[in-house]
Structure 1
Amino acid sequence: MEIGLNLLGAEALFGGDISCVPGLAAEADRRGIDLISTGDHLGFAADAHTQRLRENNFPFPLDHPWYEPISLLSAVAAVTERAQLGVSVLIATVRPAVLLAKQIATLDRLSRGRVTMGFGVGWQEAEYTATGMPFDARFGRMEDTVRACRELWTHAPAQFTGRNFAFENFHSLPFPVQERVPILFGLGPSPRNFDRIARVADGWSVNPTDLPGFTDSVALLRDRFTAYGRDPGTARIQVSLTPVQRPDGSADLDATARSAQQFRRNGATAVVFRPTAFGRTADRLPELLDWMISLGHE
């Protein structure tokens, strides 16, 4: 099982100084972390954010800073050597596919082939309105985005015709280092969404709210891979876990470790933790990193 570090909000551990976060990533990379990721939102409409807080227990306040993930990961790529780099998840459909393909190809080059990217469609129409992207049919647009990216990553000239955009005789270089950049979909568990993953993606990025019924979901996802003639054992299943809390609100590391190992036995190939969820200070991060990495060796 691979172990991941989610940098989202990690600047809070350094007095809000985002320039310290690549140093944390470098330390995690040196110690043996398998994956370094972050999250994504371009912004929020206040009323939509309030509704998300109320109905979904969204863990981030309206004034939480959301650094642009590809830019942040580019800084991380410069100071790391081995860990995979990704986003859990990037709202791919508020970005033009050609620009997104260029950004990811550049990141894969900078990191010498270490990108494993999660794509999603988000939940907030305001992000689509603000970027001039259509909110309707966004799931189909995400499939088109992946297909367009893969065309741009492997052919020059490239050509593609989708429902909302098209290009032909289009040269966009460089190609990524990897022959196939792994793409995971961060979607709710359903037969339709798992069909999408099996058709065009490489795995599932699992939100904590979608963990109930995980074992059945994994079985369904693997079944869809088989139905599309793909080896179900190749499906990457990346789980984002929050720590188990004691009654006093502190993180119970032993119980969290048991939870992580249970998800591994039930099909998770990677487990990702966000350090700020553990209530630790910066001076205790090395201890937390060592604990995280030890889980991958059990």
Structure 2
Amino acid sequence: MTLLRLGVSLQPRWPLDDGAGVLRVARQAEELGFDHVAVGNRLLDSGFGLDSDPLVLLSAVAGATTRLRLLTSVLVAPYYPALVLANQAATLDVVSGGRLILGVGTGWNPGEFDAVGVPTRERGARTDDHLEAARVLWTRRPADFEGPFTTLRAAHLGVPPATPGGPPVWVGGHSNAALRRALRFGDGWYGTGTDAAEVTDVRRRLREIAADAWDADRLTLASAAFLTPPGVPAAVPPPGRPLGGTAPTAASVANDLARLAEAGLTACTLWLPVASEHVGEAMEWIAAEVTPRLT
């Protein structure tokens, strides 16, 4: 069975008059032994969670912690010009000491695409273009690149990344196009609300699409999962099946996580649909009751 690393999403709606609350929770997550914290990417108010820029917020988290890995879950690559994306990610990789994991996706929100002036129909092609250009910028000085949306001529990225080759890239999505993108540009695949059967199916599909089995097996398999610990009130309904079922116990949550690990998942981000004041309590329950059952 694969060792499963647990992280926590920093997505609850934090009070605007307590901007440091999210940093306190990140420090607590580090003290409790979690592997990573994650921040999503929305530009317009969703009414659902913390709608901040992931690279900006994770830069603050980097300064408040020393060990936690920092995951964008997920950054919408078409929103950012390739050069801006490459430089911002490299900057965060440097200031965090190589702790960034760049989770990326194509996005879906038509209102946000209209607001940034990017046609929704181009989101897949722009994601491919930006990821390929970013990798070139992270690995070559000077960098030359010619793509449908990005042209580079003898470019020297302003900040070379701390991680050789650039931060690891986890590509989100369950479609065949997303799996092809992960194989072509990524170091990992990132799902949402997956169960063990879906992880097994993704591994199979990756092997079918890949040129050879090694290319598929090199990818990290990770996913977000939803969890409302017992005794902690939910602020919003989970957007998918919760870990441990509708009445979770430490044993049922640990059993679900163990099945995910057996299927090949190596990292799981716990999305806690609870109010900000209960996030610390929820993390403490996971660390005390669930994590020991996994080891």
Q: TM-score range by the shorter chain?
A: 0.7 to 0.9
**1:165 deviation in Å?**
2.1
Q: Where in structure 2 are the equivalents of 1:27-176 lying within 5 Å?
A: 27-43=28-44, 62=47, 64-176=49-161
**1:202 deviation in Å?**
1.3
**1:244 deviation in Å?**
6.9
What's the CA shift string for 1:229-269, capped at 9, x where partnerless?
A: 744432111111112788x9665333222111111111111
- Which structure 2 segments of 5+ residues have no match? 234-245
**1:11 deviation in Å?**
2.1
**1:111 deviation in Å?**
0.6
- Secondary structure (helix, strand or coil) at the match of 1:116 reads strand
Q: Is the CA contact 1:2–1:296 (under 8 Å) kept in the aligned structure 2?
A: no
One-letter code of the match for 1:115?
L
After TM superposition, the score normalised by the length of structure 1 is 0.82
Q: Structure 2: how far apart are the matches of 1:296 and 1:152? A: 43
- Secondary structure (helix, strand or coil) at the match of 1:5 reads strand
The reply to whether residue 235 of structure 1 matches residue 227 of structure 2 is no
Match of 2:21 in 1: 20
- Secondary structure (helix, strand or coil) at the match of 2:94 reads helix
Which one is further off, 20-29 or 215-224? Answer: 215-224
Q: Is the CA contact 2:170–2:190 (under 8 Å) kept in the aligned structure 1?
A: yes
Q: Is the CA contact 1:207–1:240 (under 8 Å) kept in the aligned structure 2?
A: yes
What's the CA shift string for 1:63-83, capped at 9, x where partnerless?
A: 744011111100100111112
**Identity score, percent:** 28
Q: Structure 2: how far apart are the matches of 1:278 and 1:294? A: 22
One-letter code of the match for 2:188?
G
**1:175 deviation in Å?**
0.8
Q: 1:109 to 1:292 in 2, by over 3 A?
A: farther
Q: Is the CA contact 2:171–2:190 (under 8 Å) kept in the aligned structure 1?
A: yes
What's the CA shift string for 1:211-237, capped at 9, x where partnerless?
A: 763321222224444x25744432111
- Which structure 1 segments of 5+ residues have no match? 45-60
The reply to whether residue 268 of structure 1 matches residue 265 of structure 2 is yes
Q: Structure 1: how far apart are the matches of 2:8 and 2:279? A: 15
Instruction: Say how many residue pairs are matched.
Output: 278
**1:285 deviation in Å?**
4.4
Match of 2:249 in 1: 252
Q: Is the CA contact 1:37–1:87 (under 8 Å) kept in the aligned structure 2?
A: yes
Q: Structure 1: how far apart are the matches of 2:28 and 2:207? A: 35
After TM superposition, the score normalised by the length of structure 2 is 0.83
Q: 1:145 to 1:230 in 2, by over 3 A?
A: farther
Match of 2:278 in 1: 281
Match of 1:53 in 2: none
Q: Is the CA contact 2:194–2:224 (under 8 Å) kept in the aligned structure 1?
A: no
One-letter code of the match for 2:270?
F
- Secondary structure (helix, strand or coil) at the match of 2:104 reads strand
Q: Structure 1: how far apart are the matches of 2:117 and 2:195? A: 29
Instruction: Give the counterpart of 1:207 among 192, 212, 219.
Output: 192
Match of 1:198 in 2: 183
Instruction: Give the counterpart of 2:175 among 189, 203, 207.
Output: 189
Instruction: Give the counterpart of 1:8 among 3, 7, 11.
Output: 11
- Secondary structure (helix, strand or coil) at the match of 1:18 reads coil
Q: Structure 1: how far apart are the matches of 2:276 and 2:293? A: 22
- Secondary structure (helix, strand or coil) at the match of 1:213 reads helix
Q: Structure 2: how far apart are the matches of 1:88 and 1:145? A: 17
Q: Where in structure 2 are the equivalents of 1:220-231 lying within 5 Å?
A: 220-225=205-210, 227-228=211-212, 230-231=214-215
Q: Is the CA contact 1:189–1:210 (under 8 Å) kept in the aligned structure 2?
A: no
Q: Structure 1: how far apart are the matches of 2:99 and 2:279? A: 26
